């Protein structure tokens, strides 16, 4: 597979160079692009003949940096950090500087391809492709599943959601965010009764102490981390405490490195709470006024649990003495006492950050609620700099998956399919007959793929799967069980919409070429509740088309075939869009799709859903003007729109009653209080033993984004990080007689993967542990990982399973 | 990889003039009109172990053996437009850097002996251009330090790389891997190299 970028002409390259580290504020746009108003006049971007600049959020992670995209002759020729953006203030990370190149890999998919009997791919027309999909759905609507992504734009996710739940009465729609954010969601819901962080990135500018819980923001969220290191270089004193299972780039910048055993985070959080209670340093008045105590009932684990008394909480937490926590977590008693004292100190502002280390965890929901509990119990909450904040890995995991609710159990705006009132409200908004929305949650990701790869006659009741904007053939855990079996099942039909060939398209029966990023209109929502809009700037290559259009075209084909679900109460098409004169615009024909702004229509319709959970969004046009706005966005008396930085805090949140300091107005106990949870420690489901003696942890690297399907096509990033590897401890390598760079086999009970060794590389794992990044499509470490998952969030644990490392010579013998 | 000293020039340089705040306080030596001036040429990025450029151009047969021998395709024939050095072996780190093999197959393959093992394999030196370096912009990037094949040539302090010019061999790996939008590594070929050793 060729990974190199098309070469740019000489002056383009000069321009790219000149502008790459420059940044933009105001800009003049030509052609049909709207003029973006600048918040501040900074204009040192070159504007050559016919060159125009416009804003867009970066295509990669959940940080939500804004870039300025330079377009000339219908091609993206330059990218610059956006100085007017509050998130990144002109700075980008190494990936962001190259984001423009992702459009121009040599192997972009440009035409629909249908798999033939002999396994080859034949180009077909779009009409035919849409017909094939519509027919499969029409013939068996209940065995169809839609697998999406936190890279879906808000309108893409909303269209898919409406198509499935409001059209097909089918709840088998789930996103890859199930593999990434699900435990954070259940953590927020279990604690506050409503999803997403209360604080925002400003916490990073104001905290005295930053704790990274199994989190490596220096590499994975570098722009956010630099907000903190930047403060240090200005002479501010910020203490960084890294609690992790291996040394990382974040550790290099940390004042304290607390190395824990796998699963050690749960006892550590319990230990901190124990010390707060024991030393009497918890925030008595905050807890009395604003918190309840909660635990799972005897009968089994539930999302909302049951109330326990404070005395009961004290009794249970009493067992987690520093000595016991030390045994369970691998930290020393002193280190645990240090954390206890720190949280007991009212004079420091503490922000906790976490990401996959806490989410990809068989106790994911538990550890998320416990860390919130530590902050609530100690009163380190709701003031700038005092905040438990989860980071996201995808640009719209929050905006699309969590807010539009493209999950098997959810409906838009924080609603759930199991709640009759919620179903009714959605049926009302969608103007569809009552009872159309199915009350039973669909299959979550792991289950969905399990059902898809089990033969139909053995009960595998998903037969057609549509995958958009994601690469499950590389990211699912235990691929041999959940994905690779698809090869041998003739009656299972996999449809994949993507921009480049991936391990997922290799098994696809129908491949659809998608438009990406600035080749279409879009809206993302980042980790700090910031909704960000951008406009289409260039045409997609060949016959590539928007994902939203695909969903609408399939829906309209079904409508033509007479599928009742594609009609609303009045018999109209559920995605009907009318122009000013009341005429329907045929948006299902791609050459008419941009006659109107479909994104805007869908967004305005979706906005109605957001007020129930106080996630109010402004009208679409407000986002055109801003570099994103943090919800809840509330209209002011003068007609302007105001964003919210700190939810539940009286000084900032418009929904907190006048005079109240805090109000958890979506409390699951309906009394305005947050829940402090207790969970007992449970060991990981698979532990190293004589046969598989190593802990395997997977993760990411700075230069590549997730499965690398975009970043691997950028020569500079691929040069900087050309191959997947296995990180080993020097002592382990010596003991096994393994040399630097040697190729070895990493294997578990489930599969194996061949990788070069990097001893004490960028990260330094302790003895008995190895680390493997998952970006390399030629080295699928997820053949090795485990599909055990959190019972509540259903999120798999990619961070720990038992593996062994074998020399090639041993493997051959 | 062990630490490599800088090549000894044929004549040890005179002690550098004493100075106060950069102002020379030693008398300027008289001009020696009897000394022949050396023909000047642009420095060329040669493979490791290349001898003095003047002797190199006389000795190199343009056979291409070192180009074939390089396992990393790091050695090129210089294009015709480069005049008198056309067809001689050069390194273009932007395309493919010298990986500093332990056994230097290029040197082993050189029959005319213009690449020799007995002089240190120093091709030039690299320097970080700070205003282009992402790490100096306070965003995380440590690729050059991680991939440098010469121990001690790049030190990373406070997340920011610095190149130790006494240790750096100018192999160009750091330039090749630098992911900054505009390459933050300035790579300079050696201005002078030791002459053919007397065997």
Regarding beta strands A801-807 and A769-773, do their DSSP bridges make them parallel or antiparallel, or are they unpaired?
Answer: unpaired
Q: Where are the alpha helices (DSSP H) in A527-679?
A: 547-560, 590-593, 598-607, 620-625
Q: Which residues of A86-99 are buried (b: 16+ CB within 10 A; e: fewer)?
A: bbbbbbbbbbbbbb
Question: For residue A233, which residues of chain B lie inside 8 Å, CB to CB?
Answer: 138
What whole-number percentage of chain B has pLDDT above 90?
Answer: 64
pTM, two decimal places: 0.89
User: At residue B170, does pLDDT exceed 60?
Assistant: yes
pLDDT band with cut points at 50, 70 and 90 for residue B8? very low
Interface test with A, best of B139, B148, B159, B178 (most A CBs within 10 A): B139
Check residue B31 and give its pLDDT.
66
Read off the pLDDT of each residue in B132-149 and give the average, rounded to a whole number: 91
Q: Give contacts of A761 with chain B, Cβ < 8 Å.
A: 146
Look at residue B41 and tell me whether its pLDDT is greater than 80: no
Phi, psi of A79 (to 5 degrees): -140, 140
Q: What's the pLDDT at A4?
A: 36
Residue A13 has pLDDT above 50, yes or no: no
Q: What is the pLDDT of residue B35?
A: 59
How far apart are the C-alpha atoms of B29 and A191, rounded to whole Å? 82
Minimal-distance CA residue of chain A relative to B174: A720
Residue A698, both tokens: 């997977």
CB contact under 8 A, B139 and A716: no
Q: Mean pLDDT, chain A, as a whole number? A: 92
| Cross-strand bridge partners of residue A754 | A745
Q: Return the pLDDT at A494.
A: 97
What pLDDT score does B146 carry?
A: 93
**A679 close to B (CB below 8 A):** no
- A393, A525, A628, A708: which is the annotated catalytic residue? A393
- Two tokens at A756? 């070069």
- State the pLDDT confidence band at B7, using cuts at 50, 70 and 90: very low
B135 CA: distance to closest CA in chain A (Å): 10
A156 half-sphere exposure, CB direction, 13 A CA radius: 33
The half-sphere exposure of A382 on its side-chain side, counting CA atoms within 13 A, is: 21
Q: Which pLDDT belongs to residue B36?
A: 55
- pLDDT higher for B7 or A716? A716
Those of residues 93-132 in A touching chain B at CB distance below 8 A are 93-94, 97-98
- Give the C-alpha separation, A516 to A530, whole Å: 21
Instruction: Output the CA angle A58-A61-A66, nearest 5 degrees.
Output: 25
Name the residue facing B181 among A17, A91, A249 (closest C-beta): A17
**A23: confidence class by pLDDT, cuts 50, 70, 90:** very low
Q: Which of A164, A180, A220, A550 is catalytic?
A: A180
Angle in degrees, 0-180, between the axes of helices A265-278 and A322-329, rounded to the nearest 10: 170
Count residue pairs from A and B with Cβ separation < 8 A. Answer: 65
Residue B154 Cα, gap to closest chain A Cα (Å): 15
Which of 603-642 (A) contact B at CB < 8 A? none
pLDDT greater than 70 at residue B33: no
Q: Least CA distance to B158: which residue of chain A?
A: A253
Residue B92 CB partners (closer than 8 Å, separation 6+): B45, B76
Q: What share of chain A has pLDDT > 90, as a percent?
A: 90
When pLDDT is cut at 50, 70 and 90, the band that residue A7 belongs to is very low
pLDDT at B15: 62
Give the CB-side neighbour count of residue A5, counting CA atoms within 13 A.
Answer: 22
- Local confidence band at A397 (pLDDT 50, 70, 90 cut-offs): very high
pLDDT, tens digit, 9 for 90 and up, residues A678-722:
999 999 999 999 999 999 999 999 999 999 999 999 999 999 999
Active site residue A394: yes
Give the pLDDT of residue B29. 65
pLDDT at A24: 31
* Residue recorded with tokens 């980008």: A92
Residue A43 in this model has a pLDDT that exceeds 60 = no
User: Residue B139: which of A222, A253, A761 has the nearest Cβ?
Assistant: A222
Residues 6+ away with beta carbon under 8 Å from A414: A194, A195, A403, A405, A612, A613, A615
Q: Phi/psi of residue B92, each to 5°?
A: -120, 95
| pLDDT score at A18 | 40
- B142 and A762 within 8 Å at the Cβ level: the answer is yes
Give B180's contacts in chain A (Cβ within 8 Å): 94, 97
CA distance A554 to chain B (A): 41
Asked if A95 is an active-site residue, the reply is: yes
Q: How confident is the model at residue B128 (pLDDT cuts 50, 70, 90)?
A: very high
Instruction: Test B180 with A97 for CB contact under 8 angstroms.
Output: yes
Is B140 in contact with A16 (Cβ distance < 8 A)? no
pLDDT single digits (tens) A635-656: 999 999 999 999 999 999 999 9
């Amino acid at each position: 597979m060729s990974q190199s970028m098309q070469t740019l002409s000489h002056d383009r390259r000069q321009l790219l160079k000149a502008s790459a580290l420059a940044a933009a504020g105001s800009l003049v746009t030509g052609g049909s692009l709207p003029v973006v108003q600048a918040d501040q006049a900074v204009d040192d971007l070159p504007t050559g003949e016919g060159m125009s600049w416009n804003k867009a959020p970066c295509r990669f992670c959940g940080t939500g940096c804004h870039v300025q995209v330079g377009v000339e002759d219908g091609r993206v020729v330059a990218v610059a950090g956006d100085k007017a953006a509050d998130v990144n203030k002109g700075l980008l990370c190494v990936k962001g500087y190259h984001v423009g190149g992702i459009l121009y890999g040599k192997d972009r998919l440009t035409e629909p391809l249908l798999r033939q009997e002999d396994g080859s791919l034949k180009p077909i027309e779009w009409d035919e492709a849409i017909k094939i999909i519509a027919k499969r759905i029409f013939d068996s609507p209940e065995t169809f599943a839609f697998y999406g992504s936190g890279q879906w734009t808000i309108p893409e996710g909303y269209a898919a959601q409406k198509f499935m739940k409001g059209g097909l009465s089918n709840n088998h729609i789930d996103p890859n965010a199930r593999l990434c954010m699900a435990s954070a969601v259940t953590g927020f819901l279990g604690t506050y009764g409503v999803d997403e962080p209360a604080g925002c990135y400003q916490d990073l500018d104001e905290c005295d102490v930053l704790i990274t819980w199994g989190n490596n923001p220096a590499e994975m969220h570098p722009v956010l981390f630099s907000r903190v290191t930047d403060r240090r270089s200005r002479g501010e004193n910020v203490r960084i405490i890294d609690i992790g299972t291996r040394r990382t780039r974040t550790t290099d910048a940390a004042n304290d490195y607390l190395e824990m055993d796998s699963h050690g985070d749960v006892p550590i959080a319990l230990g901190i709470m124990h010390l707060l209670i024991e030393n009497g340093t918890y925030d008595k008045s905050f807890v009395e006024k604003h918190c309840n105590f909660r635990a799972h009932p005897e009968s089994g684990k539930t999302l909302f649990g049951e109330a326990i008394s404070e005395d009961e909480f004290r009794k249970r937490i009493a067992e987690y003495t520093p000595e016991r926590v030390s045994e369970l977590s691998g930290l020393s008693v002193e280190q645990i006492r240090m954390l206890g004292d720190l949280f007991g100190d009212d004079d420091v502002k503490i922000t906790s950050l976490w990401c996959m280390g806490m989410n990809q965890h068989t106790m994911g929901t538990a550890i998320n609620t416990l860390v919130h509990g530590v902050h609530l119990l100690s009163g380190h909450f709701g003031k700038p700099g005092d905040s438990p904040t989860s980071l996201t890995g995808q640009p719209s995991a929050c905006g699309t998956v969590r807010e539009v609710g493209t999950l098997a159990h959810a409906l838009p705006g924080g609603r759930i399919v199991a709640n009759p009132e919620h179903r009714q409200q959605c049926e009302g908004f969608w103007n569809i007959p009552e009872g159309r929305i199915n009350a039973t949650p669909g299959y979550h990701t792991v289950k969905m793929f399990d059902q898809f790869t089990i033969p139909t006659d053995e009960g595998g009741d998903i037969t057609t799967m549509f995958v958009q904007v994601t690469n499950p053939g590389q990211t699912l855990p235990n691929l041999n069980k959940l994905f690779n079996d698809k090869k041998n099942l003739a009656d299972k039909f996999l449809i994949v919409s993507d921009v480049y060939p991936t391990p997922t398209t290799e098994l696809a029966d129908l491949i659809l070429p998608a438009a990406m990023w600035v080749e279409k209109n879009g809206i993302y929502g980042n980790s700090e509740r910031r909704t960000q809009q951008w406009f289409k700037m260039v045409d997609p290559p060949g016959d590539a088309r928007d994902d939203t259009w695909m969903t609408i075209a399939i829906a309209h084909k079904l409508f033509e075939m007479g599928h009742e679900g594609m009609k609303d109460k009045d018999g109209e098409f559920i995605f009907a869009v009318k122009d000013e004169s009341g005429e329907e615009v045929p948006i299902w024909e791609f050459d008419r799709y941009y006659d109107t702004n479909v994104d805007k229509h869908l967004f305005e319709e979706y906005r109605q859903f957001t007020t129930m959970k106080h996630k109010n969004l402004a009208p679409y046009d407000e986002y055109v003007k801003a570099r994103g706005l943090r919800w809840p966005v509330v209209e002011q008396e003068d007609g302007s729109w105001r964003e919210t930085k700190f939810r539940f805090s009286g000084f900032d949140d418009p929904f907190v009653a006048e005079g109240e300091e805090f109000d958890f107005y979506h409390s699951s106990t309906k009394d305005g209080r947050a829940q402090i949870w207790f969970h007992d420690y449970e060991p990981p489901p698979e532990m190293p033993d004589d046969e598989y003696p190593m802990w395997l942890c997977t993760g990411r690297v700075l230069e590549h984004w997730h499965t690398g399907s975009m970043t691997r096509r950028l020569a500079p990033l691929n040069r900087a990080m050309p191959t997947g590897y296995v990180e080993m401890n020097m002592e382990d390598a010596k003991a096994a007689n393994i040399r630097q760079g040697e190729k070895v086999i990493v294997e578990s009970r489930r599969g194996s993967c061949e990788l070069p060794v990097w001893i004490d590389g960028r990260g330094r794992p302790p003895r008995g542990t190895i680390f493997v990044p998952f970006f390399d499509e030629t080295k699928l470490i997820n053949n090795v990982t485990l599909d055990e998952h959190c019972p509540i969030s259903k999120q798999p644990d990619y961070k720990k399973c038992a593996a062994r490392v074998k020399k090639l010579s041993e493997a051959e013998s | 990889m062990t630490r490599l000293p800088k090549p000894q020039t044929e004549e040890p340089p005179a002690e550098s003039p004493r100075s106060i705040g950069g102002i020379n306080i030693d008398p300027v030596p008289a001009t020696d009109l009897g000394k022949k001036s050396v023909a000047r040429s642009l420095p060329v990025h040669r493979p490791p172990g290349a001898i003095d450029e003047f002797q190199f151009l006389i000795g190199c047969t343009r056979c291409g053996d070192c180009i074939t021998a390089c396992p990393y395709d790091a050695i090129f024939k210089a294009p015709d437009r480069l005049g008198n050095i056309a067809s001689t072996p050069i390194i273009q780190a932007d395309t493919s850097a010298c990986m500093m093999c332990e056994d230097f197959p290029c040197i082993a393959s050189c029959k005319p002996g213009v690449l020799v093992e007995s002089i240190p394999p120093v091709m030039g030196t690299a320097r970080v251009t700070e205003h282009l370096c992402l790490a100096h912009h306070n965003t995380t990037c440590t690729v050059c330090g991680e991939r440098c094949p010469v121990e001690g040539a790049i030190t990373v302090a406070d997340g920011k790389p610095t190149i130790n010019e006494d240790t750096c061999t100018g192999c160009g790996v750091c330039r090749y891997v630098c992911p900054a939008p505009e390459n933050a590594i300035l790579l300079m070929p050696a201005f002078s190299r030791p002459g053919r050793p007397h065997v």
